[in-house]
Structure 1
Amino acid sequence: MNKLMGFLETNVMPTAHKIGSQRHLLSIRNGILATLPLTIIGSFFVILLNFPINGYDEFIADFRPVLDIPFRFTVGAMALYASFGVAYALAGHYKLDQLSAGLLSVLAFLITSIVPVQVTAPVEGVIGAGRWLSISSLSAQSLFGAIVTSLITVEIFRFFIKRDIRIKLPDSVPPMVANSFTALIPTFFVIIIFWVIRHILQFDINSTITLLISPLKDLLVGNSLLGGLVTIFLIVLFWSLGIHGPAIMGPIIRPMWDASILENMEVFAQTGDAYNLPTLFTEQFIQWFVWIGGAGSTLALVVLFMFSKSVFLKDLGRLSFLPGLFNINEPIIFGAPIVMNPILIIPFMLAPMVNCVIAYTFFQFGWIPMIMAKLPFTVPAPIAAIISTDWTIMAGVLVILNFFVSLAIYFPFFKMFEKQQLAQENAEV
């Protein structure tokens, strides 16, 4: 085990650090994370539109078009917001004007994602004659296109600024005005480049990118048990080495996670059927049914520590319980520590994978509907699981079941670690 940890520390950690600090990947992660308040609030409106109460649909029927608006302009336009966020973050890495970069990115995204619809004859009470833009083109289906156009736009912007190809104004001109003129030439070229690509050459960037990454997305974030286990294994592996697992995997998998939960939310908003949604292995599936108390299902270990004979472990367990209840487990990961600990790493990696298999079985048998809402990660797992599966009590039961399974897996390793800790404490005394 020590040889394995040494090998991972020598060969895996440097590569993981490089991936985690790569500016484009960091910008993707940070830009999409910036949209989190919108998706969470949008989720509440999905829930509001679909309470599982008899007669509720008839009760809100007259208000549904109005109640649906917040969802459409949060979750339903998520790619638009992500395009600004990713460009803003990347421009910050390059020390460029972030506001100009964000606006240019939104411009590029709109040019590449939306083809105006010409309505020649008005439909009374529905739509008038003229040119219309489809809001569906701004949703999760265009998220990957938004990310790519944002990265390209900032690189174009940087190309001109780095070579000092810009309109310069005297130093006496206010910075906001000067920045606007600085962006004039890059804006012209951004428009020309993306206009030619999408509307002259008829090349759809978003569709092409979606097609290229669909095999990876189907594996890691689709409905494959293997893909779910691979994702979980990689995250806990990085945590075991002292690296923030989601920070490394996030730039790669977070766009897929977000696109998947947004697709689920959109389908559920249209059908009201949570049993037939596109994706099972969303981030929320892992959050509520696998990470009970945080990555590695550590709430079970916290509870065991609370009743330990070791003074240190008992104190650490008590200090870690409240954060763990709200899915924050850095105190136990770095306090025990679990990091680089050959005894605790084994159940830390094993428990969530067993939980994943159990949860997958429940969903496959149709005992629990699929996840249709995105709640804050700090909501206690049983409550969040019930709400995000369309108020299904069995989801909360599954969380409790997986907690006790984790408890059983951690127990023998906890006893070994406790024995080791007691011997150390007695030696110190």
Structure 2
Amino acid sequence: MNNFVNVLEKKVVPVANKLGQQRHMAAIRKGIISTLPLTIVGSFFTILSNMPIPAVAHFLAPYQEILDIPFRFTVGILSLYATFGISYSLAQYYKLDPLTNGIIGVMAFLVATAKPLHVLKPQGMVEAGRYLNIANLSASSLFAAIVTALVSVEIVHYFTKHNITIKMPAGVPPEVANSFAGLFPAAVVLILFWLVRHLLGFNIATFLSSLLMPLKGVLAGNSLGGGILTILFITIFWTLGIHGTAIMDPIIRPFWEMAIAKNMTEFQAGTNVHHLSTIFTEQFLQWFVWIGGAGGTLALVILFLFSKSNYLKELGRLALLPGLFNINEPVMFGAPIVLNPILAIPFIIAPIVTAVIAYFATISGLVPMMMARLPFSFPAPIAALMSTNWSWQALVLSLVNFMVDLVIYYPFFKVFEYQQLQRETTTNN
């Protein structure tokens, strides 16, 4: 185990750190994460419009069309918001005006993806180019959002770096000066994406989606092997002291966002919650696998509470409340699990086992798929219940997996406890 950790430290960690800190990857991560409040709020409205209580559902039935609006303007146009966030973040890195670049990025995305519609009016007249299909702005266009955001900011950066800008006289307010400085690059961005999309007929959203869909099917689809691969990457990075989810985020976050958004959209359209598109959403991991945080560490915290070691018992008390809300840094760095050959083993194994259990429970029809996105800080059993359209079977599965975590962690906990007691005895003597 020590040799394995040493190899990972020398070969993998430097590459992972560089990837996580690379400016474009960081901008993608920050930009997409900035949309979390919107997708969470949209999820709550999805739950509200699908209440399992007949009396409530009957009361809300006349308002379904109105209740659908918050979902459509949060999750339904997720890529539009992500474009602004990514452009804003990358512009901050280059010390450009983030607001101007955010707006230019949104313009580029709209020009590249949202072709105006010709709508036939009741009077028989055709309104040309005055309407947009918001389906083009959903999570299905997220990769187009990433590309247009990055390219547009890079163009602005190039113009700024080479002083190809309109410089205003001293005394002009900064917001005015920034707007004029972005005039030339904004024109270039507009013309570039207009030529590509509307004269050459190249749809970047369709192209990238078809190009990357095979990878989506592996990492965030219905492949058990792909789900296990994702879990392995995240947990191994964590055991090396690197935030595993943060490292994987630039790669897998777009797939996760597309997966849960598609599930939510299908559910809103009337698809049975057992027949949605994607099993391995981020929410599947959160509520069935990461119980208490990455690695399913709430089980270890509970074991610490009953430890004979004073230190571990105190650590269990301190880590219990955060653990209930899926915050596991206290136990990750307090035990520690990081670079700990004993606790690293169950930290990696337990999530794989619980993911396999949850996977077969899902494909067998015992539990439905995820149709809502809740904050990561929700206690897992409750969130599993709400995120599967109030399926009590999902709640039971979350509890069962927690018990499985306890069983897997227990022998390693006892070995670690024995070592800790020896240290405490030596210190006291």
Mark yes or no: TM-score above 0.5: yes
* Alignment correspondent of 1:202: 201
- Deviations 1:122-179, CA, capped at 9 Å, x for gaps: 289xx98453211111111111111111000000111101100011111111101101
> 4+ residue runs of structure 1 moved beyond 6 angstroms?
none
User: How is 1:242-261 mapped onto 2 (pairs within 5 angstroms)?
Assistant: 242-261=241-260
Report the equivalent of 2:8.
8
Match of 1:223 in 2: 222
**Equivalent position of 1:53 in the other structure:** 53
- Contact 2:35 2:82 (C-alpha < 8 Å) held by counterparts: yes
Q: Report the CA distance between 1:6 and its aligned residue.
A: 1.1
Is 1:86 matched up with 2:63? no
State the distance in 2 between where 1:5 and 1:370 align: 35
Residue in 2 that maps onto 1:302: 301
Q: Residues 169-180 of structure 1: matches in 2 within 5 Å?
A: 169-180=168-179
Query: Which residue number in structure 2 is paired with residue 32 of structure 1?
Result: 32
**Structure 1 stretches of 5 or more lacking a match?**
none
Check 1:72–1:128 CA distance in 2 against 1; reply closer, same or farther (3 A cut): farther
Q: Which amino acid aligns with 1:88?
A: Y
Determine if contact 1:122/1:128 at 8 Å carries over to the other structure: no
Alignment-derived partner of residue 426 in structure 2: 427
- Aligned partners of 2:118 and 2:126 also within 8 Å: no
The 1-side partners of 2:278 and 2:126 are apart by: 36
Q: Distance in 1 between matches of 2:313 and 2:52?
A: 43
User: What is residue 277 of structure 1 aligned with on the other side?
Assistant: 276
Equivalent residue, structure 2, for 1:147:
146
The TM-score normalised by the length of structure 1 is 0.97
Q: Within 5 A, what are the aligned runs for 1:2-401? A: 2-54=2-54, 58-122=58-122, 129-130=127-128, 131-401=130-400
Cα deviation 1:45-92 (Å, max 9, x = unaligned): 111111123365554333222111111111111110000000000001
Q: Deviations over 1:194-223 (max 9, x none)?
A: 000000000001111111111111000000
Counterparts of 1:180 and 1:91, CA distance in 2 = 14
Would the aligned equivalents of 2:83 and 2:109 in 1 still touch at CA under 8 Å? yes
Percent identity between matched residues is: 56
What secondary structure, in the 3-state scheme, does the structure 2 residue paired with 1:119 have?
strand
- Partner Cα separation in structure 1 for residue 400 and residue 23 of structure 2: 41
- Distance verdict in 2 for CA 1:246–1:123, change over 3 Å: farther
TM-score by length of 2: 0.97
Structure 1 position 272, deviation (Å): 5.0
Q: Is 143-152 or 57-66 further displaced after alignment?
A: 57-66
Partner of 2:274, secondary structure, is coil
Partners of 2:340 and 2:73 lie apart in 1 by 47
Letter paired with 1:89: S
**SS of the residue aligned with 2:170?**
coil
* Structure 2 letter corresponding to 1:149: T
Size of the alignment, in residue pairs?
427
Distance in 2, Cα, partners of 1:123 & 1:314: 76
CA distance in 2, matches of 1:377, 1:51: 21
Q: What's the CA shift string for 1:255-308, capped at 9, x where partnerless?
A: 110111111111111115211111110000000000010001111111111100
